[in-house]
Structure 1
Amino acid sequence: MARLPRFQSLTVALADRSGKAVAIDVLDNNDGSFTVKYTAPRPGAYQLNVVFAGAQVPPIEINVEPQVDTSGIRVTGLENAIVTVNCEQEVHVFTPDGDNTRIVITSPSGSIVEAVIESTDTGFRVCFTPSEIGDYSISVTYRDLPVGAPYLLHSVPDGNKAEAEYVVSRCGPPRADLVTVTGPGLGPVIAQRSTHVFIDTTSAGFGDIDLFVDGPTRTPIHCVDNHDGTLTMYYVPKTPGVYYLRVMFDSNHISGSPFQVLAVPALLASSLTADREKTESSFTTLSSGSSTPKTAPCV
């Protein structure tokens, strides 16, 4: 029980469900209000009683939830953040308490995706097939608390792979200076979210296109042949920092390459001072010489 010296007519007491008193600290805010601080010794129901000028204020019921530790929960199978539409995907959720772990997959259109969730000795095996093109969100919660940020997968069409051979023009010598790159992927971009650039080679002549994304971490990339002399390259910057997009045509940099791209955290509005040490990612080579792109099957 606590009594404030300046207000002798006010008393405050906190007790657990068995009636055992809990130590409290009542602070006068000097504006007619008070702050009550306490540390609950264990989860459960508590009751705060306030008496003012001899009159009992209706008791305040407090329910203290157990402390939730999500450090033992992790998700694997998301190393390649770009996947192919209509190909089954599999991820594994490791959790020590499956009864209180929930997994929800949301499609690009906002609908909940049906998934096969199987219990394993270490958690769950989750299988689903993306049927739409765009960003899929995988949310994992433990006792209604989110485990990290939602995990993102970007689904792309199945007819074009990054290794496809591609005719960028039917005639003329290679002209790297005539290749243009536009789109949101030139930055600034948001870490852990898919972005893309649009590459126009319609006036560039014959030649190979090599695409690289260099940055703090290895970066998945995926190219889509638009069959009109243009292509779209998708990539996911996994961590905040400075990335470099290199576009080579016939072994020469195009105008503006390498493009410097800043990736920022989703909740951070200010600019970051990023480590500029580059780690080369996997690269894409698009070669002239065939009018039919070679595609790889779903794996």
Structure 2
Amino acid sequence: MAGREGSTAKFIPREEGLYAVDLTYDGHPVPGSPYMVEASLPPDPTKVKAHGPGLRGGLVGRPAEFTIDTKGAGTGGLGLTVEGPCEAKIECSDNGDGTCSVSYLPTKPGEYFVNILFEEVHIPGSPFKADIEMPFDPSKVVASGPGLEHGKVGEAGLLSVDCSEAGPGALGLEAVSDSGAKAEVCIENNKDGTYAVTYVPLTAGMYTLTMNSEYWGGKLKCLQRSGQVEENSPVFSASVGGDHIKAHIANPSGASTECFVTDNAEGTYQVEYTPFEKGLHVVEVTYDDVPVPNSPFKVAVTEGCQPSRVQAQGPGLKEAFTNKPNVFTVVTRGAGIGGLGITVEGPSESKINCRDNKDGSCSAEYVPFAPGDYDVNMTYGGAHIPGKLSF
């Protein structure tokens, strides 16, 4: 369209890619010509695809992975959230070919929902439902009850077996005397990860109770205990006070935590310990080496999340350059367990890559495509970390 001071030209690109626009005036190139123009498709969330095992399920404490494919979907912002019984740390990496590798780390079992949005619109299939289960760990099986210590011929020995932290499986038990006689065994599944077990010895003697859990087609021995079965049930008496009480605390890692037992000289004892690990601790209390009622006790130790302790540092938080990676580090040591979120807002979309350094810190980088003022927003456990980062 001709004007008094200039002209306007329009063109419609038929495919995405880099175009060279040549401008001439009376057959002579205009200064700066040819101009390079990149054409991209308009954003279309319906063309974004996601696939991978992490969208269907996974195991507690292990990364659940999946891939997002944005090829042919145009240019747009990608949003990821994971909702479930706990905050799940998300890591994403741009593969440079229109796909993105994503993983999240669930720390509790249950039902999780993975939300994937493109230009703030859910992609097909989102939110994805993922069932997270406890990993196979026979050391987490806990058995308790009088049937582990003594029994009586013709009467049922009772015990409770807790497999809720050991992963899915089927429990088995065999009670065999030193003479080879087998007791009748009944196992009742309580449908909550625990089992009520009874066995009826038919002869007196020393019995060995062998428990096993069947997982993935194989059997692994979880517990083996021996107890005396007599014609009459044994009884015992004890005086108050003295070194009768002992305690042992087992950490989730299998190590032990030091504890201190104090005789209050009034018929009670005080036990003190300081846990240093997050997770289920097993506290065993015995009186003259015999477990007290309900021992072992299970204590869940949790760790709080304090975003105010998170620190961010690096050159990428002070100044940045277009079309180049701008790096910085986020330190979460001492801030507890929480999900880290990073967004960069400014004149253009920025590609963001995050890498867990496995030492309580995360290395991050972003690539802006246009000059201007940018804000780097960081959250931990859903709350902003101290300070507003802009340049």
Q: TM-score, normalised by structure 2?
A: 0.28
Which protein shows a greater Rg? 2
Q: TM-score, normalised by structure 1?
A: 0.36
